[in-house]
Amino acid sequence: ISLIDEKLKYRDPSAKEYSAKCQNIKFLPFVTKPAGFSLHWKGSDFKMETMFSPAELYTAEHQDVVCLLNTILNENSPSFKGCGSISLAVKDFLGLIRKPPISLVINQLKEVSKYCDDITLYQENITNACYKSLHEAMLQNDTNMATIMAELKNCSFILVENTYVDPAKVSFHLNFDAAPYVYPLPNKYKNNFRELFECVGVKLTFAVDNFALVLESIKEDSGNKQLTENNFQLC
């Protein structure tokens, strides 16, 4: 890595010729699972001594939107099994300055939303990072927006009250507690990612039909049993 950096500083004319080759050579280490990380870390699928090509890795800045599905470049010092900090010039040469595609971020969000028990701070950070990435992508062009809408409109990916729910169960405005049937969109999402949630079908307010479905759901859940106090108050 140091030699590549040195050659690039001298503007070696053969640099471009070798760039594509180097991007597919397995010589870079990956980040192992952080302490206290309870989800499935992709790097855990491999032995610690496994090396990856630059094309197979993403830099740590994208960790939260790929870590469950993709390995992360380890730029820690060699004493921590890393390769050391890599200059921007070398990262560019190795093709490491790139964003994950929308499809990967969507799949990361779908993967993290499978874990519904005891939502951790790691999980919340991953979820928020995916929202941020997708929100930025959909604002760039209509193609991205259409892809995100198609993939997520029927998916339980919205994190509310320690669970993931689909857009049909969420509205921007709801002034009473109706969980687990319908939920208000948390303010932090309304303020930061409004267009994303509008795109996937989160309603401004629930209509009469939506509340009728809630009553039907309560009836089905209760069966022939007496209503619980919470459900009675909700009705």
Q: How large is the angle between the packed helices 102-112 and 121-140, nearest 10 degrees?
A: 150
**Residue 174, both tokens:** 């709801």
Residue that has been written with the tokens 């509008």 in this structure = 198
- Is the pLDDT at 224 greater than 90? The verdict is no
Residue 169 has a pLDDT of 95
DSSP lists the bridge partners of residue 158 as 165
Give the residue-averaged pLDDT of 194-221: 85
Phi, psi of 33 (to 5 degrees): -60, 130
DSSP 32: P
Of 11-20, 71-80, 127-136, 161-170, the range with the lowest mean pLDDT is 11-20
Question: Residues, the chain, total?
Answer: 235
Closest CA to 61 of 49, 73, 46: 73
Give the residue-averaged pLDDT of 152-176: 94
Give pLDDT tens digits for 36-71: 999 999 999 999 999 999 999 999 999 999 999 999
Query: Quick one: what percent of the chain has pLDDT higher than 90?
Result: 74
Closest CA to 143 of 199, 97, 182, 201: 199
> Around 11, how many Cα atoms within 13 Å sit in the side-chain half-sphere?
0
Model confidence at 218, in pLDDT bands (50, 70, 90)?
confident
Residue that has been written with the tokens 């799949």 in this structure = 107
Give pLDDT tens digits for 90-127: 999 999 999 999 999 999 999 999 998 889 999 999 99
The 3-state DSSP class for residue 52 equals: strand
**Residue 88, both tokens:** 């921007």
Rounded CA-CA distance 48/46 in Å is 6
Residue 142 has a pLDDT of 95
Closest CA to 172 of 149, 196, 205, 195: 205
- Is the pLDDT at 179 greater than 90? The verdict is no
Cβ proximity of 182 and 174 under 8 Å: yes
